[in-house]
Chain A
């Protein structure tokens, strides 16, 4: 680069210029002492918009939702001390689900670091276990290169949040600014190209399989490999199941789809997972909520091919036969090249077996109930939105019902905290989704307990006119806690009932939105239709649902994947 192009800028100016150079159009944040100079520079320009949240946890979740629902990177900006500690839950949430995200945090001036200054905390130390990487920038000369590295690390390899901690004096110091075009780090070179020999071995197994199954996860969604996955499924004719994080990676209405697997997965998906002879795992990590007890899982013999970008995910909980480390879309394309067959093979006995499992109709519930069944609300939500909405969720029973009953056809439409299981995620995540997808239908499926954990963001939604539809499945209980207490703690409902709930309709109105209370099954669909008609409004739909309904099937903790409790068992 020739020197004429460089210019003297302050650290604060450099940060904003870096964001512009990365094509960032929105930052979610909350100002404070240590970041005042950065906010001053944001004020002076128009390319990077700022969304003022009401609590820093909301900023992190919003940036996360922005990333999950688009192919861009969410950015959040918080001040030192409590600003950062408030954001930690959001950072850990993104980390557990491998979501690319940039967190910029203010820090006390370099000379005050370590002196227990006002609003000081050891940000890099506190966040180290829940970020892909973090930096403390002590010299303004390192700032631009660090920002470049942060974006590079967050978005390559297995993605994840990267934090850049910037002391206040660094934002006022000046230096020549030049944004690097490329990054080269000898210590960070994620694998790109998979091993050709391993691909051949895998394809050989796929060709010999009699009872094959594809099991795909969030890695397919994050790597934008849904098209290749679909092609592979079509060419092979294999049945396929998705993890909670992988939903939308394969169209849910397709005949080859067995539904979600795992703790609350379908009977057919879990049975097929146990009984298959060749398992092709793609961008999934065999976690405890998916395969249950690994010793039980190992009882049935099967060959496992595991495709993942992260070598440390392979053979972590389950020993695999053919590990393939590589970029998922490329690996799947390599498979397709070698498969050569145009027509899928016939797996008649296997499909017959699967049909028997499907006949259990494991998701059935009482459709004639006089009280609103939560499953019914989600079925209607799916119908009313034509399966096209972006659906965020909080954590608990409503999350599982949404995963079971809303049929996701496309990737990046299902936005939930799968790994960390963060209550309070749904509403702020929906804000990020709506910012990334203006004009799209965005729904937050939640419960009366989860929604109260980041309720303050209703105010942000008003300020930025985010017309999110909140579907509150209100059973007055922390439903999943209640369910476990019913099953495993002798019906002792310790602290899972929530007394003194607010009037959610009035509450929504208090924030300047509209609210509806729905008490009868017959009113569910009309209310949803009415809400979606109000295109420019946030509508809070408070559905009073059956307090005793449980999520089925259920694999009790520590049990094997086929040891499911079904609704018919009770």
Chain B
């Protein structure tokens, strides 16, 4: 099963590789991983999307907690949470296609953020499935480049991950 795990970690050189090392050394998979500092610059927050049985996820959270630089670990998928991912997608946009593409971006609440003679770059935010759906909705041969950040997640309501 797919799980989304949030990790608060000391913002130190090597912390990221310690965590990714643990996943590869123990044979756990990483679907996506995002990391950036929090409002407290001494700490980073990482979101890892992984898949595995409940036993495997329990092992992953235990192994993460064991790492000296890891401050807190939460499996967001255990309860209500929100997930978002950002995608930038560059598509071929000649005079004929422009209108269609703009309309499609609007339907998905995306924005055109860069325009050239023959391209549009569209910014789109949502959960992974929505981004997938947008890609599917486009003419595949028109897609020039896709870049996705991987999921970030946060608990709903009073569910807060903080030190």
A residues apposed to B, CB below 8 Å? 124-125, 128-129, 132-133, 136, 153, 185-188, 310-312, 314-316, 319
Contacts and interface: CB of A to CB of B under 8 A. Distances in A.
B137 interface: no
Contacts of B21: 128-129
A312 B62 contact: yes
A297 B63 CA distance: 24
Contacts, number: 38
A188 B68 contact: yes
A185 B163 CA distance: 12
B63 A136 contact: no
B46 interface: no
Contacts of B68: 132-133, 153, 185, 187-188
B18 interface: yes
Contacts of B10: 187
Contact of A315 (B58, B63, B163): B58
A133 B9 CA distance: 14
Contacts of A186: 71, 163
A128 B58 CA distance: 22
A124 B16 CA distance: 13
A311 B73 CA distance: 14
Contact of B25 (A124, A125, A129, A312): A129
A133 B21 CA distance: 13
Contact of A316 (B25, B59, B65, B70): B59
A130 B53 CA distance: 27
B110 to A, nearest CB: 39
Interface of B: 9-10, 13-14, 17-18, 21, 25, 55, 58-59, 62-63, 65-66, 68-71, 163
Contacts of B18: 128
B55 A315 contact: yes
Given A133-B69, A312-B62, 6 more contacts: A128-B17, A136-B14, A187-B9, A187-B68, A312-B66, A316-B59
Given A125-B17, A128-B14, A129-B25, A187 B66 contact: no
Nearest to A187: B71
Contact of B69 (A124, A187, A311, A314): A187
B95 to A, nearest CB: 49
Nearest to A129: B25
29 contacts: A125-B17, A128-B14, A128-B17, A128-B21, A129-B21, A129-B25, A133-B68, A133-B69, A136-B14, A153-B68, A185-B68, A186-B71, A186-B163, A187-B9, A187-B10, A187-B71, A310-B66, A311-B62, A311-B65, A312-B59, A312-B62, A312-B63, A312-B65, A312-B66, A314-B62, A315-B55, A315-B58, A316-B59, A319-B55
B129 to A, nearest CB: 33
Contacts of A312: 59, 62-63, 65-66
Contacts of A124: 14
A124 B65 CA distance: 20
B53 to A, nearest CB: 12
B77 to A, nearest CB: 20
Contacts of B59: 312, 316
Nearest to B8: A187
A328 to B, nearest CB: 18
Contacts of B58: 315
A181 to B, nearest CB: 20
A436 B76 CA distance: 49
A136 B13 contact: yes
A153 B58 CA distance: 24
Contacts of B17: 125, 128
Contacts of A319: 55
A312 B71 CA distance: 16
Contacts of B66: 310-312
A305 B43 CA distance: 37
